[in-house]
A and B are shown apart, each in its own frame.
Chain A
Amino acid sequence: MYSEMKGAVLNSILNWMGETGFSGARCRIIKNLWDPKKQTGWLGCSPRSVDDVKISLALIHQIGDERVIFQVIRVSGTIKSGREKIFK
């Protein structure tokens, strides 16, 4: 499931932002923070690309045969502050 999700996310970002934008966004999905039970994960990107990355995620409507909705829970500068914001 992780690999399918990763493929869909990176493909969508690449489609929306193009190769130049994608390289500037420096997107990375943090593998060990993916929670398959809750279906939540962390995606890092440059601060300038946050809106484009959000749109790219919102544009994903299907992974394999399953329909999906991606939702951005929080945007933060560090993983630590993001965790604090979520669990506050």
Chain B
Amino acid sequence: MQFYDYCVLADSDLAEIAKKGALLGWSGLCLLSEQAAGKLKEKNKIDLVPGALIETGKPNYIRREADRKRSRFPIIVARGLNEDINRAAVETPAIDILLPAENAKIDYVMVKLAKKNDVAIGFEFRLLLQSCGEDRSRIFSGLRETAKMVKKFGAPFVLTSGAMSEWDLRSPSELTAFGRILGFEVPQIRASLSERMIENNRKKLGEKWVMPGVEVE
């Protein structure tokens, strides 16, 4: 099975990120920074995928930006800075992953919409890594609450390191433990870390794809 970390925000040294990713057991990393996307032509040890990160305070902007970037990037991620952004992101089928900020709550209506529009809710390990004490316990409690709803309604989800540098990367084994702590089952976690999303999106970006269920031979 291949494992992909879908939200890596690091853009420092791509060769170093690829080396560390390979060492940790990743088959591929999705790099969300714009600087990284331009440098991805070099051959690396693992599959480095360019992704688009939409980070805005305006909910109306999300759909427009997602439609604009859809044809260029296999993975589109929206950063949910507040509840309105979260809501707009889960209502947009062009978005692949929603990364809610630590203080932007997700409610069950959003989780149901995420399931309907196939928008995966992202759980970032970085939020725990970069906090401590009371903050960490508050963030973890929020993550568990969201995970409980995601599990209950069967919405898609993604476990990611959310690494800002190569030192924030964590292995698939650690993210599996993170998922188990949040209350998910191992098969669900493996599916969330698998290559399924990237393969589906690459297929959609290919010339043979017409619409769901229809492909040109």
Contacts and interface: CB of A to CB of B under 8 A. Distances in A.
Give the dominant DSSP class at B's interface: helix
Nearest to A57: B174
Contact of A72 (B132, B171, B180): B171
Nearest first, the 4 A-B pairs at minimum CB distance are A54-B177, A58-B174, A51-B177, A67-B167
Given A15-B132, A61-B129, A71 B177 contact: no
10 contacts: A15-B132, A51-B177, A55-B178, A55-B181, A58-B125, A67-B167, A69-B170, A71-B171, A71-B174, A72-B173
A71 B173 contact: yes
Interface of B: 20, 23-24, 125, 128-129, 132, 167-171, 173-174, 177-178, 180-181
Contacts of A59: 128-129
Contacts of B129: 58-59, 61
B167 to A, nearest CB: 5
Interface string A72-88: 10000000000000000
Interface in A46-65: 50-52, 54-55, 57-59, 61
Contacts of A67: 167
Contacts of B24: 69, 71
A50 B178 CA distance: 11
Contacts of B173: 54, 71-72
B170 A51 contact: no
A13 to B, nearest CB: 13
Interface in A5-30: 15
Contacts of A58: 125, 129, 170, 174, 177-178
A61 B163 CA distance: 12
B24 to A, nearest CB: 6
Q: Of B24, B125, B129, B173, which is in contact with the most chain A CB atoms at under 10 Å from its CB?
A: B173
Nearest to A71: B171
Nearest to A52: B181
A61 B168 contact: yes
A51 B170 CA distance: 14
B159 to A, nearest CB: 12
Contacts of A51: 177, 180-181
B27 to A, nearest CB: 16
B169 to A, nearest CB: 7
Contacts of B168: 61
Q: Of A55, A57, A68, which is in contact with the most chain B CB atoms at under 10 Å from its CB?
A: A55
A69 B167 contact: yes
